[in-house]
Amino acid sequence: MYTGSDAVTTVTGYKGRSVKIKCRYEPGYEHFEKYLIRGTYIMWHPHKDIPVHSGSPAKDTRFSLYDNRATKVFTVTITDLKAEDANTYWCGIKQPGLYKFKEIQLVILDVPPSSTVSQSTRTTYSASTHTVHPDTPLTTDVTGLSTYLLISAGAVVFAVGVIIVIFYCMHCKRIFPGPVTETQSSKEINHDYENDHSVLAL
């Protein structure tokens, strides 16, 4: 009825996570009811602990069963695993007056330390990525800023130089004024001098 060996299959799950128990069956059982039985199995015992079976809601909502008739595998998923979920389970198919079973041993472990290390490693790598990659654009920004500062400084120096030259020229004009315009008095003196000179010449 079940394919593979009759040996016990061990499935490992981790606390707080989910686990899938896959039960493969042979052709011809596609339309029979599928079960997951928990604990010690006694074939004719009327009170079997069945957390979930096909066609009905699960007693525990953490359990679900999906029957893929095309691949002839029904899968039981258990979510939010707890330590007490560790137990012996049986994949079962109900036939008229008879159950067919496959034994599954579910082992529940704490979250493996490797998961924490792996997450830490990814975080470190991500941080180093953000640190290393911006180096090139950072250098470009600094170079552009230096050029801008040099141009600005040159413009300021030029403007100050122009102001100094203008101030110097204005100062020189005050010390060395231009040619004095001949006043009326000097004209009269020159005119009298010319008259006197004419008289003496006579």
In a domain, 157, yes or no: yes
Determine the structural domain holding residue 73 and report its residue range. Answer: 9-110
pLDDT in tens, 102-145: 899 999 999 876 654 333 334 444 444 444 444 444 344 545 66
For 24, other C-beta atoms within 10 Å of its C-beta total 15
AA identity, residue 89: Y
Tokens representing 178 are: 């231009």
In a domain, 124, yes or no: no
Local confidence band at 6 (pLDDT 50, 70, 90 cut-offs)? low
pLDDT in tens, 46-72: 567 889 988 888 888 999 999 999 999
Cβ-based neighbours of 64, under 8 Å, separated by 6 or more: 52, 58, 76, 77
Q: Nearest to residue 67, comparing CAs of 38, 42, 95, 34?
A: 34
In a domain, 195, yes or no: no
Report the distance separating Cα 103 and Cα 172, nearest Å: 113
Claim to verify: residue 143 and residue 80 sit in the same structural domain: no
Q: Are 112 and 16 in contact (CB under 8 A)?
A: no
Claim to verify: residue 106 and residue 13 sit in the same structural domain: yes
Claim to verify: residue 15 and residue 104 sit in the same structural domain: yes
Claim to verify: residue 34 and residue 85 sit in the same structural domain: yes
In a domain, 153, yes or no: yes
Claim to verify: residue 13 and residue 106 sit in the same structural domain: yes
Report the distance separating Cα 77 and Cα 22, nearest Å: 9
Lowest-pLDDT range of 5-14, 71-80, 121-130, 155-164:
121-130
> Exposed, middle or buried, 35 (CB in 10 Å: 0-12/13-18/19+)?
buried
Claim to verify: residue 57 and residue 17 sit in the same structural domain: yes
Claim to verify: residue 105 and residue 134 sit in the same structural domain: no
Claim to verify: residue 171 and residue 81 sit in the same structural domain: no
DSSP labels for 142-176?
A: HHHHHHHHHHHHHHHHHHHHHHHHHHHHHHHHHHS
Lowest-pLDDT range of 1-5, 22-26, 38-42, 145-149:
1-5
In a domain, 59, yes or no: yes
The number of folded domains in the chain is 2
Q: Are 93 and 33 in contact (CB under 8 A)?
A: yes
In a domain, 90, yes or no: yes
What per-residue confidence (pLDDT) applies to 162?
Answer: 79
Claim to verify: residue 23 and residue 106 sit in the same structural domain: yes
Claim to verify: residue 18 and residue 46 sit in the same structural domain: yes
Claim to verify: residue 76 and residue 162 sit in the same structural domain: no
Q: Average pLDDT in the 83-97 region? A: 88
What per-residue confidence (pLDDT) applies to 185?
Answer: 47
Local confidence band at 177 (pLDDT 50, 70, 90 cut-offs)? low
The model's pTM is 0.52
Lowest-pLDDT range of 70-74, 119-123, 172-176, 195-199:
119-123
What per-residue confidence (pLDDT) applies to 44?
Answer: 58
What per-residue confidence (pLDDT) applies to 193?
Answer: 46
Claim to verify: residue 97 and residue 19 sit in the same structural domain: yes
Q: Average pLDDT in the 8-21 region? A: 95
In a domain, 194, yes or no: no
Secondary structure E strands in 15-97: 19-24, 33-38, 49-53, 63-68, 73-78, 87-95
